[in-house]
Structure 1
Amino acid sequence: MGLRERFQAGLARQLGHPSGLRGRVVGAMLNRRNREAVVRAVAALGLTGGERAADIGFGGGLGLTLLLREASVVHGVDISTTMLDRARGTFHRELAAGRLVLHEGSMTALPLEDASVDAIVSTNTVYFVEDLAAAFAEVARVLAPGGRFVLGIGDPELMAKSRMLADNGFRLRPVPQLETALATAGLPVTGHERLSQRGLGFHLLICGRN
């Protein structure tokens, strides 16, 4: 494997599970590069101020910042201890006040109680999830009836053109496949927004909880 391939493989691993100093750099990069998508995803939740919200796979923490402006209590879930430590340093006041609660966990085993949140956002996460049915079943379990879930993904056809992603285990599923899996889990898609993020297509799947 050449230098370029090793760099790309390392970056792909960091995107899926940021760790150490490089992970902190990646977290800051994600906040910049994904800003428009995360802003639009949180806006699509339609929060009114009293909700309990969650960001699954919050990465650099931009989604937590935006949710804290709109919701009464925010839960942040991430598998990366590096991103959790970064969030503890960034949001120490919100944590002390009880407005933010951080959890280490995966999308397929969410460390949240049944029907404990009213709104959930998750962007750029499902590429790293093997068992999609289990992940969406968990989202449905912790989301209160009548709640809303917004899933943000890069356009899979455009992402498939990237050798770095294709060669390093990113699971790029067609949008209709995701919509079917969401509906099967009891999270039917009620809205589909498309946007361009740095020249690449991005999809927001807005789901209701049956």
Structure 2
Amino acid sequence: MSGLRTALLTAVAGQLGRPHGLVGRGVALLLNRGNRQAVAGAVDATEATAGNAVADIGFGGGLGLELLLRRVAPQGTVHGVEIADDMLARARARFDRQIAAGSLVLERGSLTALPLDDKSLDAAITVNTVYFVTDLDAACAELARVLRPGGRAVLGVGDPDAMARLPFTAYGFALRPIAEIVASLRRAGLENVEQRRLNDVAIPHHVLVAR
């Protein structure tokens, strides 16, 4: 029984890190629903306006793309970066008109290898992704690289103590103290880091706004 439980929890963790297949479609819907407040908080923290160039890195179900498009389109551009091929395909089908209009650009990539030019963004969000990054310093350095002077990097992170109580996080999640993530952002040159907390959600959430 323990072997079956381990296999199940490993599969759940794998789907959350990289949704795929038929199950991944359902995971995408669950991510949009369960992460709505966290993603909306991250988007609001960008303070993006019409005409800005922004990105959602690891966009998963695509909610962040939708909310960012509302803020910057049609004059601005949203870049969606995702490592899961099935989520890319899903977003390309869902946002085909925005892609054709040039308001949305979707590319395969990861936090540690962003397919974006230096100093090309006014803001970037990444929500519930740092758990799956081995080299946090490299990820933060990439965020700093693609931001324009005065730009904002917004990281959404579940409270590590609360996340540790979820059974599947023991299988492939790196649950770092918030202070460790803040320190990594500062080492990347994003020294002005504001810490916000969302408590009125199922899992308490931290929104880190780095300028």
Question: Shorter chain as normaliser: what TM range?
Answer: over 0.9
Q: 1:177 is matched with which residue? A: 180
1:190 aligns with 2:193: yes
Q: 1:89 is matched with which residue? A: 93
Q: Deviations over 1:18-69 (max 9, x none)?
A: 1111111111110000001101110011112121000000000000000001
1:9 aligns with 2:13: no
Q: Is the 8 A contact 2:182 2:193 kept in 1?
A: no
In structure 2, distance between residues paired with 1:180 and 1:47: 25
1:140 aligns with 2:141: no
Distance 1:20 1:189, change over 3 A: farther
Which of the numbers 120, 132, 135 marks the counterpart of 1:131?
135
1:26 aligns with 2:13: no
Find runs of 4+ consecutive structure 1 residues off by over 6 angstroms: none
Q: Is the 8 A contact 1:154 1:202 kept in 2?
A: yes
Q: 2:71 is matched with which residue? A: 70
Q: TM-score, normalised by structure 1?
A: 0.95
Q: Deviations over 1:167-198 (max 9, x none)?
A: x0200000111110000001124321111264
Q: 1:149 is matched with which residue? A: 153
Aligned partner letter, 2:18: H
In structure 2, distance between residues paired with 1:27 and 1:196: 23
Q: 1:207 is matched with which residue? A: 210
| 1:200 CA drift (Å) | 1.7
Aligned partner letter, 1:165: T
In structure 1, distance between residues paired with 2:200 and 2:109: 28
Aligned partner letter, 2:129: T
Q: 1:38 is matched with which residue? A: 39
Over the aligned positions, Cα root-mean-square deviation in angstroms equals 1.1
Aligned partner letter, 1:100: L
Unaligned runs of 5+ in 1: none
In structure 1, distance between residues paired with 2:202 and 2:85: 31
Aligned partner letter, 1:96: A
In structure 2, distance between residues paired with 1:109 and 1:117: 15
Q: 2:123 is matched with which residue? A: 119
The DSSP-based 3-state class of the residue aligned with 2:5 is: helix
The DSSP-based 3-state class of the residue aligned with 2:199 is: strand
Unaligned runs of 5+ in 2: none
Aligned partner letter, 2:146: V
| 1:201 CA drift (Å) | 1.0
The DSSP-based 3-state class of the residue aligned with 1:200 is: coil
Q: Is the 8 A contact 1:191 1:206 kept in 2?
A: yes
Aligned partner letter, 1:132: L
Q: TM-score, normalised by structure 2?
A: 0.95
In structure 1, distance between residues paired with 2:89 and 2:54: 20
In structure 2, distance between residues paired with 1:31 and 1:161: 22
Aligned partner letter, 1:169: G
